Chains A and B, each alone.
Chain A
Amino acid sequence: MVNLTIDDKQVTAPRTATIYEAAKQNGIKIPILCHDKKLKPFGACRMCLVEVEQMKGRQIPACTTPVTEGMIIRTSTPDIVKARKMVLELLLLNHPLDCPVCDKSGDCDLQNLTYEYKVNSNRFKDEKFNHSIDYNNPLIERDMNRCVLCGKCARICDEIVSYGALTFIDRGIETKIGCEFDDGLNCEFCGSCISVCPVGSLLARPFKHKARFWAMTKHTSVCGYCGTGCNLTLGVKDNKVLTTIYDEDQGFHKGQLCVRGRFGYQFINSAQRLTKPLVRKNGRLTESTWEEAFEVVVGRLKGGSAVAALATARLTNEELSLFKKLLVENVGTKNFDHAGGYAHTALTEGFARSFGASASPANILDIQKSDLLLVIKTDSYETHPVVGFEINMAVKNKGVKLAIVSDKRGKLSKLPDATTLVHLPGTEIAVLNAIAKILLDEKLVDASAVAGFAELEKALAGFDVESVAALTGLRAADIKQLATDYAAAEKALIIFPIGQAYPGHNADLASATANLAILTGKYGKEGCGVLCLSEKNNSQGAVDMGFYAQDGGLNGLAILDACADGSVKTLFVAGENPLTSYPDRSKVKAALEAVEFLIVSELFLTETAAMADVVLPVCSFAEKDGTFTSTDRRVQYFKAAIRKNVQIKSDFEIFSELIKRLGGQAPSSPSLQFSDIAAKTSGYAGLSHVSLRKDGAFASVEISPALVVPQAVTAVCAEQGKLALVTGSTLYHNGTLSQYGEGPMHVCPEGYIEVSRTDAAAYKIAENDLVTVSSTTGTIQLKAKVTPRMPAGVVFSPYHFSETPINTIWSGAPVTLVTLAK
């Protein structure tokens, strides 16, 4: 700590602090415009000028100048005020001053500073900027006439997002922020640039002229898309969610969001939302009353084990645990699951046997504290973009090494010094086993005491790295290098995504990663372990609530089989959309057609809901209270941001009512249900809605390690004229819900197939050509994307889309052989 004097006040500050930070920590406000605490110091605007006595009273920028012992600083002498006024006058000189129609008004740093410094006249005269305004982009409006050239947008897009869409272009008076060749913006649309822009140069287009900033109420919430668990601030007016508002202090991610979190909120107030219960009469879904709907549903739920249920991992912990209670205690069935019953097995089976807990022994905060990140599949960026930001920052700012094992290259491969081992699709477990073998052979391990050591050693005895190299298409030397790097790193963290489109990321993959961590003792410590990125906002919660097949209950896919063969007669689907999200569309369709009675609770009339006998309209996360558990087991409480439509109910209310009608007792509120959860769920003890109010809390994970022999699938043999299709998630979407978010649909409205340049040339496929893709199960037409990241012979397609459902050609295998035709 150093001692210094700011405005005659004796203060102390950390040695590494800048004058600006020291002042801020001591409650002294220095105005800033180009500075952002998340970004590297820039020092361009000169708004933060202060006087330092030791520097002969020279005016220096507080945001870039480090403190030194004994510094005497003045932050607002008449000279400084004059200088700041001058800065503002110069900025206002070319600025259009169109505040009355600017959506930034009320939240604009330039406006606020102008007001604060009472700049009511300008001594200078010059022409206004005359840059053309980009009104065409559906998500981001760019008006460079309002720009103060602080560079924050370009810097955040580089330093945190690592996309680099924006930069300073042209020179001199013509200098402005733009894209390559002054094109339109075609980027990730994370909106980070909007959030840091101090003026109205970058604005959220969907929010254009929707409300004045001060007319909205701000509600904190938790993102309802992926498992990262980002916190949101929703801007609400007239009971409508109009936008997401940036708060640089919010959550571990400091307000950073991805395109889904920032622009995917429109589904909440969508006109397509269901508002009345529907009951099938004479073959048609007809608007009905809750009374009638409940009566029919209760009648069907008395069927015991002939009843089965699928629930989306987007429901709250309170809802999932209550649903389970309803099913087990009041209905009398063990047949319930989520995510197809396979997408969570990395946790429920893999980590359960390897770590003794169905949760990751690491959290997102470990990423920046590690020395080496081993990422399985570059898709980790697309599935969890804000986790991706953490990886970007770790690699770019902290010098963390990044090694990637993947079936294709990706955005992460472009990070400085990242190495990407591109293996043949479906062979990742073999690669991981080979690493384990090398660790053992080279005696890089200290795990002989761990359960299963001898078995693993024996199982890998016949394993030889050369043949794995041949099988996986890698070079043995590269696998060896990776093993050595992993062992040598003091702290190393393994990351992989799971989800319905990643069937290969199963229990064996989880155990294969766990083996590496356990063999080298890299778990249970800061910056170490394995972080499994679960797909939905409450996937980990669904696992923690035990909402999956156990004790002989049927799992997700088996439930559909049982529907098809008639042993399940009533299926209750709470929020899932298996027709699009489960493998093998025709099989799912046949099952849903075969089941005697289908109940669906949903926000929208999805293609699954359209097949139901009863449809119950339910609340989105913005209309209810509860908790979500993030992928790294952070339990977060959120409150309703808007009042729900009086005609709809939350799933919680529905399950409570059903329990009552079936003669049971239901808790009266989600917080009471949570007390029950806290009492029964490992790691949740002591948590309550009240204690979670501020930042949530991590549910602890107790680890008891064991080495397990993972089964490596043998590579799918390439066949003449066929390509290997791998499925996955695209950056702009999560599950099937984001189809109802206008933002994601603007930038990625339909499915596509990503083809390597080599294959594109061979098949004469150009960008956006419609390609017919066929497998043994079906045929689909998809638009082509030709990208340098795909290896020859491998194609990729995302799964989210009802209009272009990839499950017509995909029946759940990690790799599917397909043919392409134009």
Chain B
Amino acid sequence: MSDAVAQKAEEQEPVIDLSIADTVIDKYINIPGNLMPVLQGVQDEYGYIPRVVADHIAERLNVYPSQIYGVLTFYSQFHLKPRGKFIIRVCVGTACHVQGATRIVDTFFDKLHIGHAETSPDLRYTFEKVACLGACGMAPLAMVNDSTYGAMTVQKVEEIVADYNQRPLK
């Protein structure tokens, strides 16, 4: 492998530092029922659960790798792929739908060039359609990470995207 190719491969598949996972695992190692907290803790650190980390957890906690995967795919809170820095969620619940959520969704698709549950290649955005976010009064609703944006319009989508495009990635 030439250096340039090697570097490219590295860019695509970032080297995962398992010691970060180890710190989390060490915290829970002797506690019964530690699988869920370990997975949650590890996801908090990496932003998702890389496969090597899942395998490492399996080895260290002495659980089957398949069992970990079963848990990871059963609960929607776990992610198996890297996620964007900004998670954009648009509600498509009944109230929001009635208030035109579809147009909001479509506009985000257009602006971000990613579909539902996809992440932009630069890891800036992950886009998700979600069911009722529990704030129907503000329909149609969108969220970026923890910030809520009510009464969304196409105009507002453009503003939001422009805003977050400016923000630093690191």
Contacts and interface: CB of A to CB of B under 8 A. Distances in A.
B136 interface: no
B67 A167 contact: yes
B94 interface: no
A166 interface: yes
Given A180-B54, A788-B59, A158 B64 contact: yes
Nearest to B54: A180
B41 to A, nearest CB: 20
A124 interface: no
24 contacts: A163-B64, A164-B63, A164-B64, A164-B65, A164-B66, A165-B64, A165-B66, A167-B66, A167-B67, A169-B66, A169-B70, A169-B73, A169-B74, A171-B74, A178-B66, A179-B66, A180-B55, A180-B66, A181-B51, A181-B54, A181-B69, A181-B80, A182-B69, A788-B59
A252 interface: no
Interface of B: 51, 54-55, 58-59, 62-70, 73-74, 80
Contacts of A166: 66
A764 to B, nearest CB: 14
Contacts of B65: 164, 180
Contacts of A179: 66, 69
B65 to A, nearest CB: 4
A170 interface: yes
Q: Does more than half of chain B's interface fall in helix, strand or loop, or is it mixed?
A: helix
Contacts of B59: 788
Given A165-B64, A169-B70, 13 more contacts: A158-B64, A163-B64, A164-B63, A164-B64, A164-B65, A169-B74, A170-B74, A171-B74, A180-B65, A180-B69, A181-B51, A181-B69, A181-B80
Nearest to B75: A171
Interface string A154-190: 0000100001111111110000001111100000000
A353 to B, nearest CB: 40
A812 to B, nearest CB: 35
Contacts of A180: 54-55, 58, 64-66, 68-69
B64 A171 contact: no
A179 B72 CA distance: 12
A420 to B, nearest CB: 12
Contacts of A181: 51, 54, 69, 80
Contacts of B55: 180
A178 B55 CA distance: 16
Contacts of A165: 64, 66
Query: Which of B59, B66, B67 is the most central at the interface, judged by chain A CB atoms within 10 Å of its CB?
Result: B66
A169 B55 CA distance: 16
Contacts of B69: 167, 169, 178-182
A414 interface: yes
B51 to A, nearest CB: 6
A402 to B, nearest CB: 14
A625 B73 CA distance: 52
Contacts of B63: 164
A414 B62 contact: yes
Contacts of A170: 73-74
Nearest to B67: A167
A158 B59 CA distance: 16
B116 to A, nearest CB: 16
A171 B77 CA distance: 13
Nearest to A414: B62
Interface string A759-799: 00000000000000000000000000000100000000000
A153 to B, nearest CB: 11
Contacts of B64: 158, 163-165, 167, 180
